[in-house]
């Protein structure tokens, strides 16, 4: 798959790059995508939810009324779940939601996500760029050049670039990652994926293992 290389003004540089069909042109595996996205979202859950059960409520354990002859249900103590302020029955407890996925499946999921976006023409190759100082205004200018200032975008760089990262950090709909930090969820969640020219080699190297 041949794609034109654009500059930061959204104009064609006259150069073209070849995107590997083994990464950007496979038949997407929906189940692999589902599992990887599920794991991504599960790993973000804190799992710190907790409700006090009967044994954890502070209060007297005195039997509040006699067992029989009241005409109402028996009650052991004020901490019973049927009373206001009592413990909760089978309440939530802290839990670890993370689970393991094999590396090969995760690679397949990322390749599937890239192939889906490539098929829908949502992948753009941008020539390498840098900012002298972190400035959000400069990053917004790039977004406007591509007409995606109001859309979700994912910028993929070959390596960590502090100036570019800090320039995009305040923008809710834009995110900057390195070629080694790709996730299936972020690839599919973006309306447009901007790949820096130097990141292509790293992406293909990581996903073709």
pLDDT tens sequence across 131-144? 889 999 999 999 99
**For residue 160, is pLDDT > 70?**
yes
Report the topology of domain 2-45+99-207: Ribosomal Protein L4; Chain: A; (3.40.1370)
Give the model's pLDDT for residue 2.
85
**For residue 209, is pLDDT > 80?**
no
The torsion angles phi and psi of 83, rounded to 5 degrees, stand at -100, 150
Other CB atoms within 10 Å distance of the CB of residue 96: 10
Give the model's pLDDT for residue 185.
96
> What is the C-alpha to C-alpha distance for residues 80 and 84, in angstroms, rounded to an integer?
9
Q: Residue 173: which of 189, 159, 188 has the closest Cα?
A: 189
**For residue 208, is pLDDT > 90?**
no
**For residue 145, is pLDDT > 80?**
yes
> What number is the average pLDDT over the span 54-74?
92
**For residue 88, is pLDDT > 70?**
yes
Give the model's pLDDT for residue 142.
93
pLDDT per residue over 10-32, tens digit each? Answer: 888 888 898 989 999 999 999 99
pTM, two decimal places = 0.83
pLDDT per residue over 89-122, tens digit each? Answer: 999 999 999 999 999 999 999 999 999 999 999 9
Q: Where are the domains of the chain?
A: 2-45+99-207, 46-96
Q: Which two tokens stand for residue 151?
A: 């859309």
53-88 exposure pattern, b = at least 16 Cβ within 10 A, e = fewer: bbeebeeeeeeeeeeeeeeeeebebbbbeeeeebbe
């Amino acid at each position: 798959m041949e794609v034109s290389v654009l500059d930061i003004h959204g104009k064609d540089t006259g150069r073209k790059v070849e995107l590997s069909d083994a990464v950007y042109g496979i038949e997407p595996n929906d189940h692999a995508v589902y599992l990887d996205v599920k794991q991504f979202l599960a790993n973000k859950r804190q799992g710190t939810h907790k409700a006090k059960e009967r044994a954890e409520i502070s209060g007297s354990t005195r039997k509040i009324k006699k067992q029989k002859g009241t005409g109402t249900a028996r009650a052991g103590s004020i901490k019973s779940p049927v009373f206001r302020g009592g413990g909760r029955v089978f309440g939530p407890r802290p839990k670890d939601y993370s689970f393991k996925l094999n590396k090969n499946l995760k690679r397949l999921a990322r390749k599937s996500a890239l192939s889906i976006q490539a098929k829908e023409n949502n992948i753009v190759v941008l020539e390498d760029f840098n900012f002298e100082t972190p400035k959000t205004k400069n990053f917004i200018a790039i977004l406007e050049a591509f007409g995606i200032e109001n859309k979700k975008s994912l910028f993929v760089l070959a390596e960590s670039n502090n100036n570019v990262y800090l320039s995009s950090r305040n923008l809710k709909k834009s995110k900057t990652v390195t070629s080694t930090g790709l996730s299936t969820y972020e690839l599919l969640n973006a309306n447009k994926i901007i790949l820096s020219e130097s990141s292509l080699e790293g992406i293909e190297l990581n996903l073709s293992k």
